[in-house]
Structure 1
């Protein structure tokens, strides 16, 4: 419609002023950009930006400089000559001699023009423009951004020059803002300013408010370009979560195309700084809070303990009014007044923090990765980078993907992540690696399994601490093994051969097998279960079963080596961990077989074997605490000996009576263990002698 109007006006010899009025950010500049190519080539469109000039005199000069752009230098000499004359005459109205106009007007300062009246100069220029046959539209954008005196100057210029043939003006402004500023410039009221404006503008056009569907399309189209949620295994996806947040909390703030584009530009820029190390939907929501609720955004890090996590306390749920009152007070302290305003902000925050939502009796989705509600990622949403001590998830993802595709060898360590010399970073890398494996829809590759197993072998489980990198690697390996991995027969011994001792791999295998036999023992002979409830279980994946069987044979060999050794360098914790795994997997029979072979080859010594079951430590409150000094030794664990040593040997093999005959030093833990073993075996046999015979 505007294009047709302007073309119609330029076809006549008259000069008109058209106004395009609309609030800031309503899309006026976008519409003007659309008009320019649609008016060309019939109409010469020039742009005059008065707000870029400094002061009223600059506005005067820049106006005529813009007008001259419709007549390129070297053509229409008569027009350009008469423009210069009119500039000289009109400048006296503003007590200014123009100079440095640019685009062919700068030479005015060097010319001495003959004195003639304004009307005469205007008539000469009008005739020259008419003879040139040019159709001109002068676009003046952002008129309302001028100072009061500058607006008055501009209006005077348009009134003075508003009668050129086929020369029309298109003014763009916010009506209310312009009237207020013009009233200040005229030193009058708004009614006078309105009347003044009506005398200048012949065709006032109001830009209709943008429809919500149009604004939503602007945001959603840009957000789709930003988000990379294709193939997400979670429902709802990041895009769906953002669309829900937009519909519930954002649409009534983004009311103009400019506001929509400003928001999207901020989101794109700062998300690039975060290097895709955050959840996109949460980041888009936080960007909204940062732009439109900056006081709330600034306080969120201080409320961290009440926001992060997904679990809410039962007490908070039971006292919902108290939780609401506490949150309302915190929000009110940020400058929000009125019940409705506080409630809107509270709902917007709880939409991305499930813990807070739970306390308030509602719910919020917590699925996905890199979420702001996750304490491991919370700080990233406020630093726009990796906080100190954090580790790039993208690096972890790249390495896991490289292991899967073969770009990274599964045999070598990765010192910047999973094999980092710093324990904390190593643990963080393993936790992230486990998460990334869980987030990946595809089955884990054999290369990844081999790498994690090798990393665990290099960094074994530390059984004297509750959590360690090795323990986390064992958990990760257990999850990987619980999958249908494509393997060949030689892959099983390759993995077994990575470990010098069986304990760490046993930790992973027991955890993996416990999924299939939570209440019973695994029997490698036929793959059946012996659960206490008498019910069967689904068999484990083939690779896991084969690896478990091979590990039991390796663990039995290890036990035979340890038990027949006259040194006691293996820690009691590691010894008992492997024992518990063998017991769970019903593999003690393998140990009995190995000891039987030792007996046959005369490598078996009962005292030496029993010494491994005399643990260092002390009893306190019916709990046994393993010691490291070696000064305290527990009584002999005769029950485990009965599991693996033939009873005729356990009850009848002669025991040494003098410590001098022991083949180990007279001092140290070896001496203490053997002496405790002899003492325990004697008490065990004495107890047998005192047991009445069973005549049943």
Structure 2
């Protein structure tokens, strides 16, 4: 896909480009400036929020001053100024050079030369105090004056040093005398000097204060005008530190003519956004431009933006990335996900890392406690939306619903027509399992497992072949390994291979990753992969009891069998009991850590058959006691309670029955915890 090459992030320079209907206002201000006859300096403030078009407005004003010999336009950029001395230095150096560039009639030249020489006095009187290298600095700059012929003559005469000494002596006459001479010279040239200082609100507080102090006291010369562009709230806050809590008053002393740009309403922003979108060149046949535009309008896409600068920033990224994505992808979905990426990167990553919530076209209808699961997902998404920093929350929620049918189902009581959802795969939409990760390829390309990789796994039939594939694609790195379950559920949902299962068992200890939550994440990833494999029940019992394989991975495999079959009974019940006995031979804290990782992996994977596994735990009182300890938590008042996640998956009365049957005669060590469970579960049983 190719797009037009216009630069959407650049301020306009002409009234012909005006999108905000401000050109008449700009023309009026230009007339006012031209009609100002007083010699006294005046400051004009162009006030508006960040991204409100202040620079564009100034450019339209200055357009009327092109080729007007009565005005000198100087754009002073205070960025990169590190000290007050450097600020003053740069200001007067630039001011003097810009004045000297302007071609004036002969009768004005002598006055300009006087102005320039006095700027040098002013500069050194302010910035060279206590500097021993004053002579060298002055010598380096003193030969740049208005008349190049004179400059050349001075540089070649032996009188240069003498001139320099005269200048130093003149400096001692005082700043007032120098300023008076500069003002006299400025009056005589009969020319207005307009000094534009833009983007003040982007500076650090100290730099903002320096600029305003400069305008107020240092450069109050005749026939000068300042145009200052800033966000009033930001600047006032910075100036509060000069006169405590009086930043507004300080601004009033400096800025005689404040001009507040009207805020752009949503209708303006939407119109501007759609106008810019129309300028994109949709040149290849798979893009239905009308459908794309209709989706943008229907779902109030442009309502997400708060200012024109955000629109420009977004369109720049979209324009760039449109040329890099697969042409098959659905442009509207890509536009939405790119919006999240540009302005809410944490939300963007949340979507990518939780494909189980977003990918697919419908919630699984067979899930137990479906309403409860919807509640969990909805809470997770609501928390993410509430933490958005930049974009309009209501609009973002609507956009999210517009591209993910599963999210639509979470927030709507009645599901939409499932027939329409069958088109998602055909149109290569983000909700399609096959294409979800392709929408993130520019950011996560190095970590994305491709269909070709899964095809190789399916065709392999030996430990060595599997190992070669895993090593080639870094599949033993935990962050990549975590994707394997999702990709296999998409591209290999009928895959069955006991050899592959044994291979996965064998590399359990080789999977590596970050230490934080490492055990939990690895258990969760394995559980997801096992849960999607077919005919796991064909695994022979001897293999499950083979201690050459990790104890953890064999237990996770048994959990997955009970999860995927959705039967009342427990598969490999005998083997799990044996493995639990072996687990108890390890250190108790280590056992607790492993069991905790197992159970939380089950819960996180929406394991709705946790009850069956708990029944097995309950047959071993030592294991079950450790499990019960894991699920005791304390609130901010140090009050104990049972973890709610556990009660979301096992009804309190059922858990109470397990506790009572397992601990009919609890030991002294067990009594306190068991009594707490029985009493607390008794109360909660009446709530469910």
**What TM-score do you get using the length of structure 1 for normalisation?**
0.49
**What TM-score do you get using the length of structure 2 for normalisation?**
0.50
Q: Which has the higher contact order (CA 8 A, sep 6+)?
A: 2
Higher helix share: 2
Q: Choose 1 or 2 for highest CA Rg.
A: 1
